[in-house]
């Protein structure tokens, strides 16, 4: 989808949220209209559920929001006395529409000074694990990401199996394009060996598939460096990609979204505008031999 289509889609979600929660806002001492104002309604909701304002930022980050939005549904139900495991399960299974039931059918009461600490040790473990995943996903997506060298193309510098921590902030992190995916994995879920993201890879169907409509446009945040000659860089293979990272027999009818294409680790020898030559096995850039 384009940015305009995403904007319209988000406005529709705000209307759905407002219609399903405005009475709850009123019971919490707020105004009904506050449930309908984009972004502001989320800030107000954080106050209602006694959670920090920066949760709002996490709710708008792709992948991370797949955890934070359901957490907000559950916390909203808890703020109105619905704090059992069944209530939490219903919130998640109904994709938040359980709040419609609380808004229109149940005579719930707002609990202003409720205890935020989980009642059981299991609840504490689940909460800790979820926020560890959120924190790790943010670091993995926007700051640093681990990679393992898959091939021998840089064997004089890096060996197959070498472990790398790659900075994303130097050249500017790319925001996720695939909005529905498992956190902290690339194209395949380990052990299960299944696709880690929601996307139609079939060439004949992918242009009309609703799954592909959930893709965000390409966007990269500003960095503080540019690529220089002889930098070792990690990038997504631009052409048809591999079925998975361990299969080096390309299937030319297999497609992936840009951010899920196979990762390659290479050395940048030439920059745009350079003239590149190979003479007797040596690289020449703009007529001068390249020195590593």
| CB-CB contact of 164 with 146 (8 Å) | yes
pLDDT, mean over the chain: 86
What SS3 state is found at 103? helix
Percent of the chain with pLDDT over 90: 46
Closest CA to 95 of 130, 69, 75: 69
Give Cβ neighbours of residue 113 (< 8 Å, ≥ 6 apart): none
**For residue 150, what pLDDT band results from cuts at 50, 70 and 90?**
confident
Residue 92: is its pLDDT beyond 70? yes
Residue 201: is its pLDDT beyond 60? yes
Q: Cα angle at 267 between 263 and 270, to 5 degrees? A: 120
What SS3 state is found at 132? helix
Residue 84: is its pLDDT beyond 70? yes
Phi, psi of 186, rounded to the nearest 5 degrees: -90, -100
Report, as an integer, the average pLDDT of 66-71.
Answer: 92
**For residue 172, what pLDDT band results from cuts at 50, 70 and 90?**
very high
Place of tokens 């997504």: 236
Torsion angle of the four alpha carbons 226, 227, 229, 235, in this order, in degrees rounded to the nearest 10: 180
Distance CA 96, CA 150 (A): 42
**For residue 249, what pLDDT band results from cuts at 50, 70 and 90?**
low
Distance CA 78, CA 84 (A): 8
| CB-CB contact of 183 with 63 (8 Å) | yes
Give Cβ neighbours of residue 279 (< 8 Å, ≥ 6 apart): none
- The predicted structure's pLDDT at residue 244: 58
Give Cβ neighbours of residue 271 (< 8 Å, ≥ 6 apart): 227, 228, 229
Cα radius of gyration rounded to whole Å, the chain: 24
Which tokens in the block code for residue 132?
């560890």
What SS3 state is found at 143? coil
């Amino acid at each position: 989808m384009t940015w305009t289509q995403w904007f319209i889609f988000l406005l529709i979600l705000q209307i759905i949220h407002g219609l399903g929660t405005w009475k709850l806002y009123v019971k919490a001492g707020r105004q009904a209209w506050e449930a309908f104002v984009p972004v502001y309604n989320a800030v107000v909701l954080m106050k209602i559920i006694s959670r920090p304002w920066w949760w709002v930022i996490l709710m708008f980050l792709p992948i991370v929001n797949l955890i934070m939005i359901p957490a907000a549904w559950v916390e909203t139900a808890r703020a109105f006395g619905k704090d059992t495991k069944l209530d939490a399960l219903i919130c998640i299974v109904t994709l938040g529409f359980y709040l419609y039931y609380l808004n229109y059918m149940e005579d719930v009461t707002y609990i202003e000074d409720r205890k935020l600490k989980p009642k059981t040790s299991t609840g504490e473990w689940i909460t800790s694990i979820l926020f560890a995943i959120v924190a790790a996903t943010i670091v993995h997506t926007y700051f640093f990401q681990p990679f393992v060298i898959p091939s021998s193309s840089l064997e004089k510098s890096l060996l197959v199996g070498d472990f790398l921590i790659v900075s994303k902030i130097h050249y500017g992190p790319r925001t996720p394009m695939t909005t529905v995916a498992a956190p902290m994995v690339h194209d395949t879920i380990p052990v299960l060996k299944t696709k880690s993201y929601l996307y139609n890879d079939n060439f004949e169907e992918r242009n009309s598939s609703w799954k592909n409509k959930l893709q965000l446009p390409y966007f990269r945040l500003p960095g503080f460096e540019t690529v220089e000659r002889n930098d070792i860089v990690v990038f997504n293979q631009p052409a048809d990609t591999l079925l998975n990272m361990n299969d080096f027999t390309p299937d030319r009818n297999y497609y992936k979204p840009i951010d899920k294409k196979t990762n390659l680790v290479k050395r940048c020898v030439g920059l745009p505008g350079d003239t590149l030559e190979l003479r007797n096995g040596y690289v020449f850039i703009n007529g001068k031999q390249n020195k590593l």
